[in-house]
Structure 1
Amino acid sequence: MNKKEKGQLIEELTEKFAEFPHFYLADGSGMTVSQTNTFRQLCYEKGLEYKVVKNSLIQKALEKQEGDYSEIFGALKGFSGILFSPEVGNAPAKVIKEFHKKNSTEKPLFKAAAIDTDIYVGAEHLTPLSELKSKKDMLGDIVGLLQSPAKNVISALQSGGHTVSGLVKALEERAQ
């Protein structure tokens, strides 16, 4: 790869990092061709993009971003594949865990992740990241919580209204 091609790749990566607020770095070294193809297919099915790029080019592209990604630079050693997620921050973690489970393997290894402005480095973060709720799920939970008290009040008023009217009728019939 010549200098011009590297420059183009860095620009492409810079645009990708700017476009996708969520990305993960994984080490897929030691995976067979079949496993790599299966992993790529799983990523495609889940709406993720998986690219293998030289660490130095990843670092140069990250240095051009607005945020501070210097914490990730330490993870840029060995083999690095990037998983880009367009909307959901936990999708790549779920895909990696699903692949581990289906294929009884530890590969690809989670190296680091950037979710919006938060940076996670180290394999110990994979499980907590896979359990994160998506923005859509969180909004659904909040709406449900906000609706719950109103539903309880309306339900109590409706059931109480029937009880009160029944009591009034019973008292009226007794009086006659």
Structure 2
Amino acid sequence: MRKQEIVKNLKEKFLNSEGVFVTSFRGFTVAESNEIRKLIREKGGEFRVVKNTLIRLASQETPAQPINDYVEGPTALVIAYKDPVEIAKVLNKFIKEHPSLQLKGFVIQGKGFEAAAIEELVKLPPKEVLLAQFLGTLQAPIANFIGVLSAIIRNFLYVLKAIEEKKAKGE
């Protein structure tokens, strides 16, 4: 019964996550474990050690299913509930400082990536900055179009004003 609860709970976490990172730990100390848990929690995620068979069962029919390609040996999951880029940055830095924790791979929006891809992921700006850049890109053509339309109207009014002044002088 306990295993079924773990699988159900983990499946919900996978469904509510923005990304899942699969790590391997050998010689990982309790102090290191506590430190990474705290760092990940601060960024809106969770560090959790789970049996591989339970991970495989829970990931079925979820966007996290590709993590099964990376689950082997002692496995800990980092589940990102908010911005996976921020969690990737924390995780990448921690792994460089603590080689006993290794990244095997990760899944974001249902797509699996090898561990080396994290280097590209950490170069991305935060989600809010990306959204702002995207909205700015969308807004620019509209703003330019409105500027062109208002310039046409403004120039037309200048022509009418010039005609009015010419007629006033001529009469």
State the TM-score, normalized to the length of structure 2: 0.74
Aligned to 1:142: 134
In structure 2, which of residues 87, 96, 110 is the aligned counterpart of residue 92 of structure 1? 87
Deviation at 1:56, TM superposition (A): 0.8
Q: Structure 1 residues 80, 153: CA separation in 2 closer, same or farther (over 3 Å shift)?
A: same
Q: Structure 1 residues 67, 5: CA separation in 2 closer, same or farther (over 3 Å shift)?
A: closer
In structure 2, which of residues 98, 102, 119 is the aligned counterpart of residue 105 of structure 1? 98
Which residues of structure 1 form unaligned runs of 5+? 156-176
In structure 1, which of residues 111, 115, 126 is the aligned counterpart of residue 108 of structure 2? 115
Q: Counterparts of 1:68 and 1:39 in 2: how far apart (Å)?
A: 24
Root-mean-square deviation over aligned CA pairs: 3.5
Which residues of structure 2 form unaligned runs of 5+? 148-171
SS at match of 1:41: helix
Deviation at 1:154, TM superposition (A): 9.0
Deviation at 1:55, TM superposition (A): 0.6
Q: Counterparts of 1:42 and 1:68 in 2: how far apart (Å)?
A: 24
In structure 2, which of residues 49, 59, 68 is the aligned counterpart of residue 73 of structure 1? 68
CA contact (8 A) 2:14 2:63 kept: no
Q: Does 1:10 align with 2:2?
A: no
Q: Counterparts of 2:16 and 2:145 in 1: how far apart (Å)?
A: 45
Q: Does 1:47 align with 2:44?
A: yes
**Percentage of identical aligned residues:** 30
CA contact (8 A) 1:24 1:92 kept: no
State the TM-score, normalized to the length of structure 1: 0.72
Deviation at 1:116, TM superposition (A): 0.9
Q: Does 1:29 align with 2:26?
A: yes
Aligned to 2:152: none
Count of residue pairs brought into register by the alignment: 167
